[in-house]
Amino acid sequence: MFVLSRSAAQGVGGGVWLEDGATCIGSLIYKNQATDGFGVAGGNGVLLNSTLSQNSRLAVEVHYPQPGDIFCSNGDIVDRETYKTRATKDAIGIVFWLNGDPEVKYPKGAVISLDGQKKCSWGTIGVSDCWLMQGMVDLGIAHPYRKDTACYRNTSILEEFWDMYGDDFEAGHHCWNYKAYFQTHNPNDKTKNIRWVLPTLKYLSNLMAVLPKVIPSLEVVGQTTSGLSVDDFVCAEDQEREAFYWSSCDGGSADTWECVWVVNFYNGECLNDFRSNRDMQHWARPIFLY
């Protein structure tokens, strides 16, 4: 018999946890995993005539995605160094956001396109009719910023407006219909049906925060993927006005009803004012969530 050591930690005793006074007799405890106390742990319990075998520290996956990792056409997410040695150069995007809850099922992360960046208007015709476009969350000045995470809903609404009004609603339409190269060339079942969308303000601002990790990956991929211009992504200092990126979030305020939320990738500012009127020409860049 031996007395078990006490531990207040969590994730202890993969097979059995014995409280003070509890008993385990004549048992076989094997191939269990835990952070500590792999097979049996607990308080002053009694363990008699039992066998413990092949219990181990909880296995950790070799690679967890990080911002800047490369999303491939078969669903693999690999870091830059791994991608350089990857036999098939089949990147379709770069991971730029990961859910702060590692156990969540969806969305686990967000991916920015390798190319498909386009300067276009957000929408013009019928703006008075579509103020606070149906179904979109009101992100007006009096409301908390970046509350809307519904990239897909917003972009689908924009696509409906495209159907009604044509090419004045180009930003949403462009992203909704974007396909990465490997979605149309040698498509893989796991990614061929991915729908790209115009990001909401939340994701656009998150992208800004991790640009130093995303851009080196774009450069790595750019060595093997044609049609990518990293220079377009971050503008030069004297081109501040050229650095606005459309979100899919309507301005939604009575004072700024003709405006849309944008992020200035020159300084990270999020705004909806006279600089982001719907009919202006700003950048649209597709993302998808997985």
Partner 1 sequence: MFVIIMMGLGLLGQAQTLYVVPGGNGDGSSWTNAMGRIGDALAKAGDEVRVAVGTYLLDAELFIPAGKTLSGGWIADAGVKVENPSAQTILQVTGQFRVATVAGIIEGVTVQGGVVHAANGGGLYVRATGVVRNCIVRNNVAAEYSPKVGDAWCGDGKFLRKEEINTANGKQVEGIVFWINPDPAAPSGQRGWVVNVDPPDYYGGWTYSEYSGNVTEKRYKTLLEALADTAGYEHTQRAKEKGTEDDYPAVFSCTDGWYLPALGQLRTLIAEWERVEATYQVVRNAGGGGYFPFLLDKASPYWSSSEAEEGKIWLNVVEPAGLGGVQAVDWFEEGGILSVKSF
Least distance (Å) between residue 100 CB and partner 1: 3
Contacts with partner 1, residue ranges (CB under 8 A): 7, 9-35, 37, 39, 41-42, 45, 58, 60-61, 64-66, 98, 100-103, 141, 144-147, 201, 205-206, 208-213, 215, 234, 261, 263-264, 266-272
| Tokens encoding 182 | 């490997």
Choose between 164 and 209: whose C-beta lies nearer to partner 1. 209
Choose between 170 and 272: whose C-beta lies nearer to partner 1. 272
Choose between 60 and 87: whose C-beta lies nearer to partner 1. 60
Q: How far is CA 125 from CA 102, 121, 138, 162, 169, in A?
A: 42, 11, 20, 10, 8
Q: Is 121 exposed, middle or buried (0-12, 13-18, 19+ CB in 10 A)?
A: buried
Say which residues have a Cβ less than 8 Å from residue 51's Cβ, sequence separation at least 6.
Answer: 27, 28, 29, 30
- 């990792």: which residue's tokens? 69
Least distance (Å) between residue 180 CB and partner 1: 23
Least distance (Å) between residue 111 CB and partner 1: 14
Least distance (Å) between residue 10 CB and partner 1: 4
Distance (Å, whole) CA 21 – CA 27: 17
Q: Is 262 exposed, middle or buried (0-12, 13-18, 19+ CB in 10 A)?
A: buried
| Tokens encoding 115 | 């190319």
The DSSP letter of residue 136 is -
Q: How many CB atoms lie within 10 A of CB 213?
A: 16
Choose between 87 and 142: whose C-beta lies nearer to partner 1. 142
Choose between 7 and 82: whose C-beta lies nearer to partner 1. 7
Least distance (Å) between residue 37 CB and partner 1: 8
